[in-house]
Amino acid sequence: MRHLFPYLLFIATALVSSPALAQAVDIQAYISPNPLPVNRSGTYTVIVQTTSPISGGERPEVPGLSFANPQQVSNATYNSTTRSLVGQYRLSWSVTADAEGTFDIPSWTLQTAEGPLAVPAVSLTVGPPDRSLAEFFRLRLELPSGPVYVGQMIPARLSVLVVSGAEIGLRSGLERRGEAFLETPRSDSIRGRESFAGRNYDTYTYEFFVTPIRSGTHPLAYHLDISYRDPRPGRGSAVEGLRLETNNPPLNVLPLPEAGRPPSFSDAVGEFSMETSVSGTDLRVGEPLTLTLEISGQGNLDRLSAPALEETNGWRVYPPKATLESNDPARFRGSKRFEYILVPENEFLTRLPPVRFSYFNPHDQRYEEITSELPEVAVRPAAEGSALAQAYAPSALPALATPASPSGRRPLQTYASAWQSPPRPAFKNPAFLATNALVATAFATVLLWRRQQKRLRATLSSTTTHYRSRSRQAEQQALTAARAGERPAFFANALTALQFETVLALDLSRPPGSLHSSELLAALASIDLPPELRQGLEDLLSAADHARYGGQGSGNPDLSALATLLTRLLRTLRQASA
Amino acid sequence: MRCFLLLTVLLWPSLWLGAAPADAAALFEQGNIHAAQGDWQAARASYEAALTAAASPGLYYNLALACEELADPGAAILAYERALALDPSHSASRHNLHLLRANQNLPASPATELPAYLRVLSPRLWPWLAAAAFWLSLGALLLRRLTRWPYLLPLSALGILLLAGCGLAWMQTHRLFATVVVTAEAPLRVAPTTESPAHFTLRPGEVLRLRQLREDYLLVDSPSGASGYLLPTEAARIWE
């Protein structure tokens, strides 16, 4: 019984005091933990017990403190004594301080149906940062090295590193400090693993592009408020708050250089190429033509503006239609197409307005300019009597009809084009005359040479015929003389026949009659004669010499055998000459 | 024979093209500087001096602009016509000539009415091409006697066609580049004397057909069909 006494006393007190409690309002406010390290987040909590619901209230902002992750939890109990509902409202915020010091959250007011309720003031002491958790939780920003220019899209990676096995929750979204930059998301969060300083981490990486919009040195920092359970052994399982921050130095953003900036530059930064195409090159006055420029590459494609057409005199140009094609969520890589509609206003146009596109290449740190390569066009007059012909008649064209309009005139040319002689008819041009004379001379030379060759061949042919005839004639006479037994006539004609055939066979340039027996033998040595024939030839020539120089008494050779030998010899020589 | 042909091939471009004379280029640049400073008189003098050494479409074009600035439309039209005679595709000359003739209430220049296919080549190049076609066809015919290559006859026929085409093109373009009135007032005289009455007075920039060239007078046909005499100082031929 003695053990039950304190409980009985508490119940009795509670029963006595409950009607009074039911009508009273209790309101508390506190920050936990307090003091708070500068990089940790605490919880600002307001607990209200009231029978009437909270209808509003505005928490004051405190310079140096940031509040996030607001939460409201309420529950109610039925008081049977007072026959009323008693509610408990718990309002909480994650609170983080930017710097060390003491911060006061002043008293503020909550609105209820029964009237305003005053939330008591709270003081927060913020101490130096707690570095002991840096090896477990990190926020890392990776940026490429090298100079950074205004307007350049810089690829960036922001990673949350959480030591493997630790649990975290997000108390607030990722926040950036740095007003001089724009952010363009590139991908969803990528989860991975990484080993770093002897520990394994789970990583959550967010890829995006950062675009500086102002030159100068500007901070670029991110922070993220998380809740965690301390992964160190023996630290309990309480959930605590922590602010993760990047610690990159401020970025030095360079302005785009003035030097070398082309007049056609319109803030394109990156690396690009340009292709042009036209819908047709043969058109009539008033007929529209589509000129398409496709700028491809990587850079601030989204912010590319249409290049201006130059020298548009004589063309009616309509504002271009732009289309961006990119599979990249950040629209960093891809192509942008500009379609210009041009209408020729007269038939003297031969060239399309040139297009120049220039951009700043941050890697090479210089401006590049691309000039369009457009085909020539042929513009014919509009069909006679058509509406186009009336609309584009010279009198209807302001540029052509306005007298002394200097703006309509094409400007001075800075290049002289191809140097040449003044316009002069070709037949007065010495170069033309000389060239043709030279070619004519060449042709005449060829013709003359051909004619001479022909004449030579004709002469040669007639000589051959003559020699062959003479040889046959001498052979016949020799054979006749042999049959008649006339030795001198036989040998004289046989020698003549051999001389002519030898000249023909060996294509000699000497007169046949000037060849002596020894010369005949020497010349015929080059012809492949059978041995008996060669011997017979020697015998025949020797007998001829004897008959010629020895007179009637010099031997008595067998003329019929020599005649047969002569016939064989001549036949062989004719075969050789053929 | 081979050396002869090689010599011809080597000489051809050197005879035709010629190097850009340094003094002409320098005078052209000097003229541009004067023009940029607004001294059109000096610019015109520089351009005309450059023309004594060599010519180019750009040079004639700039000279025409200088003449326009100096209110000498006849000389300007002549220079534009000469630029087009060298390069019929020179669009800036074509454009400005069209404007100037419209401002002077002159009919369109025959040079600006050239069909596109005749603007492909300078009129001075047509005879060259015609000559090349002639020699090609002749050469092909001669070669037929030396070799039995089957394409010689078609080649020769092609050369003859080309010759005919170039000849026609040359005739059509050449007759367009005639004579231009260069003085402010040019009376078209009935007889070749200064005391002769005039049919009418020609305006600067009018294009005339030259019928006869004498030492002291030019016999020309006006666009209206009237024939008459002009002093050599009153008109200049586009083709010198």
DSSP A117-152: EEEPPEEEEEES--GGGTTTEEEEEE---S-EETT-
Mean pLDDT of B27-36: 87
Q: Which residue of A has its CA nearest to B12?
A: A435
Answering whether pTM is above 0.90, one says no
Higher pLDDT, A348 or B197: B197
Q: Which of B11, B12, B32 sits opposite A412 (nearest CB)?
A: B32
Q: Is B128 on the interface with A (CB under 8 A)?
A: yes
pLDDT of residue A16: 41
Mean pLDDT of chain B: 82
Q: Is A457 on the interface with B (CB under 8 A)?
A: no
Give the closest-approach CA distance of B183 to chain A in angstroms: 19
State the Cα–Cα distance between residues A525 and A531, nearest whole angstrom: 11
With an 8 Å Cβ cutoff, are B96 and A447 in contact? no
pLDDT of residue B5: 56
Chain B, residues 169-228, CB within 8 A of chain A, namely 170, 174, 177
Give the closest-approach CA distance of A407 to chain B in angstroms: 11
pLDDT tops 60 at residue B39: yes
pLDDT one-digit tens code per residue, A150-184: 888 899 999 989 888 888 888 777 888 777 888 88
Give the closest-approach CA distance of A254 to chain B in angstroms: 36
Q: Which residue of B has its CA nearest to A353?
A: B91
**How large is the ipTM?**
0.73
pLDDT of residue B6: 59
Confidence of residue B46 (pLDDT cuts 50, 70, 90): very high
pLDDT of residue A20: 41
Give the closest-approach CA distance of A286 to chain B in angstroms: 17
State the Cα–Cα distance between residues B189 and B198, nearest whole angstrom: 4
Q: Is A436 on the interface with B (CB under 8 A)?
A: yes
Cα–Cα nearest to A412, from B223, B97, B36: B36
With an 8 Å Cβ cutoff, are B99 and A427 in contact? no
Q: Is A403 on the interface with B (CB under 8 A)?
A: yes
pLDDT one-digit tens code per residue, B78-113: 999 888 888 888 888 888 888 888 888 887 776 666
Strands A333-344, A315-325: pairing is: antiparallel
DSSP at A249: P
Give the closest-approach CA distance of B225 to chain A in angstroms: 25
- Listed in sequence order, the residues at least 6 apart from A122 whose beta carbon sits closer than 8 Å to its beta carbon are A29, A30, A31, A44, A104, A105
Contact status, residue B182 vs residue B75, Cβ threshold 8 Å: yes
State the Cα–Cα distance between residues A270 and B197, nearest whole angstrom: 74
Chain B, residues 82-111, CB within 8 A of chain A, namely 82, 85-87, 89-92, 94-96, 98-99, 102-103
Contact list in A for residue B103 (CB cut-off 8 A) is 403-404
With an 8 Å Cβ cutoff, are B58 and A425 in contact? no
Torsions phi, psi for B144 (to 5 deg): -60, -25
- Listed in sequence order, the residues at least 6 apart from A480 whose beta carbon sits closer than 8 Å to its beta carbon are none
Give the closest-approach CA distance of B89 to chain A in angstroms: 7
Confidence of residue B61 (pLDDT cuts 50, 70, 90): very high
Q: Which residue of B has its CA nearest to A313?
A: B95
pLDDT tops 90 at residue B48: yes
Q: Which residue of A has its CA nearest to B133?
A: A436
With an 8 Å Cβ cutoff, are B95 and A418 in contact? no
Mean pLDDT of A471-497: 89
Q: Which of B61, B68, B240 sits opposite A423 (nearest CB)?
A: B240
Give the closest-approach CA distance of B2 to chain A in angstroms: 10
From first CA to last CA, the distance across chain A in angstroms is 161
A181-185, A235-239, A284-288, B39-43: least confident range: A235-239
Q: Which residue of A has its CA nearest to B109?
A: A348
State the Cα–Cα distance between residues A335 and A324, nearest whole angstrom: 6
Q: Is A79 on the interface with B (CB under 8 A)?
A: no
Strands A148-149, A251-254: pairing is: parallel
The residue whose two tokens read 């912010």 is A303
